[in-house]
Each structure stands twice: as C-alpha cells, then as structure tokens.
Amino acid sequence: MPVWDCHIHCYAGDETATDLLVQMDEGGVTRATVMSQFRADFRELCAPVSLEDQHACIDHVAGLQQADPDRVYGLFWADPRTEGFLDEVQYALEDKGLHGIKLIPDHWTAGDEFLFPLYEKVRELNKVIMFHSGILYAFGDSSRFCQPVLFEALLNFPGLRFSLAHIGWPWVDECLAVFGHFNSAAAHRGNASEMWIDTCRGTPDAWRLEALQKAAAFCGTNRLMFGTDTYPANLGKVAPLHVGKDMDILRHQIGLRDAQLEDFFWNSAEAFYAGT
C-alpha cells in the first residue's frame, strides 16, 4: 500500500533532495508533504520573520520539490505578520509551484481580518493551507490561538481547502465538531470551504486509539490524512514506526477495511492536493 506522509518539517534548512529521497525509500514513504524551515527564535515569536528569510526558505523547499515533483510536495511555512507577506505567497505558490502554505497561529487567530486577503489568494490559486491546531509544546502559550473552534471563520471562504493538524489534540472532540460544521455547510450550501484532518502525532499513545476511532467513525476516512510530524533526517526510522502503530489501531482494533486504509494512507491526501 502506498504511503503519503502529509507532515514533514525541514529543520536545519540545508536538507538535500538526495538525502530526503533516501530517507523516504528507507521509511517506505511513497510521497511526502515537506514544509519549509521556519527561521524564528521560538522564544521570541512576537517578532515577525523577515521577508529575506522567508524567501530563502521558499527557495530551499522548492529545490527539494523540483528534484522529484511527483514524490515531494512542498509547502511554504509562512509568517503572515510580515509586511509584504502576500508577495511571498505569490512567489511561493505561483512562481515556485509549491502546493500550499503552512501556518501556526501565534498572537493571531485564523479569524483575524488581516488574513482574509491570504485566504482569497490561496483560493484563487487553487492551493491549500495546513494549519497547526491544538496544544503546541514548542511555542510557549500559543495554544490559546490554535483551538479548533477558532477555525470556523474559514466558513466564509467557499472553495478554500484547508487541514487542521494533530486532530486538534487535546481538543479532539472540538476538532471533530468543527469538521462536522464544515460538512453540514457543504451539504446545505453546495459550494463551501472544505476541511481535512491531518492525524499526525500530537495525540500521545494513551489517546491515539480513542482519537482515531472517533475520527474514523464521525468523519469517515476520506478526509483523514496520515502524517509523522518528523524531519527528513529521521523519516527512515520514524515512518515505519508510525505506520505500524496506526495500521495496528485502524485494522486490528477499529476494524477498518482495506479501502478505508487506502483512504487514510493515500487517497485523502491525494484529494486534498488535487489540482494544486
């Protein structure tokens, strides 16, 4: 079964395409969504990341994607507070052909009006947004900006495709309720914004079975994406471990069918990125 890892971070900013592809092969990862480095001191996140640093990070991840565009899907991890940010979005998504952007709300929320032009731009270019959601160990107290319910503002952008990572842990039920709201809006309006759930770790093992069981039962598997939330250098070791653990839960404890497993490990991500 092919595996699409939807959540891999560039950490150092000097990762090479050769090393990434070797790690993907060692880890049994067929296709990978790789996010650009985020050049910020996580202790000082009130200061926006410079345009120059963001530009360099775009060029780096675009180079990884260019080496094998069928296997590597690049995302621009962006800081939307930086003046001139929309020009960098245009550069990343149109000039460099990246598939979308990654955002971590910190001292802003997804419903803040200064982000609305960004949503319009991403929708116009038929790209996607991956949001962090849930508690965030690396960023201080930023989790107050990442609770799943805060993403309901995206209902106002029909046609926009986005995902919430980590099943919103520890607010798993809230994340699933938000998903239900978007599904209901789609059923009643026809043309609505579309939400996927990135199930990459965030849920510790003690919560993993419950979180996946609820998500599969309530959302179905065609909007649940597999991810490791690791770095290229660790992918060969981490991916088989996470695939094995999730496969055991999904197949043997929850009892999903092969077609549902194919959704989880491949088809859902393929649908998310369709046309990007």
Q: pTM (2 decimals)?
A: 0.95
Q: What residues does 196 pair with on adjacent strands? A: 163
* CB within 8 Å of 169: residues ≥ 6 apart: 134, 135, 202, 203, 207, 211
pLDDT given at position 36 = 95
Number of domains in the chain: 1
All residue ranges of the chain with pLDDT < 70 are 39-47
Sign for the CA dihedral angle at 38, 39, 41, 46 comes to negative
pLDDT given at position 43 = 45
CATH number at residue 194: 3.20.20.140
Q: Which domain holds residue 72?
A: 4-272
Q: Would you say 100 and 127 are in contact if contact means Cβ atoms under 8 Å apart?
A: yes
pLDDT given at position 193 = 85
pLDDT given at position 191 = 72
E strand or H helix at 257:
none
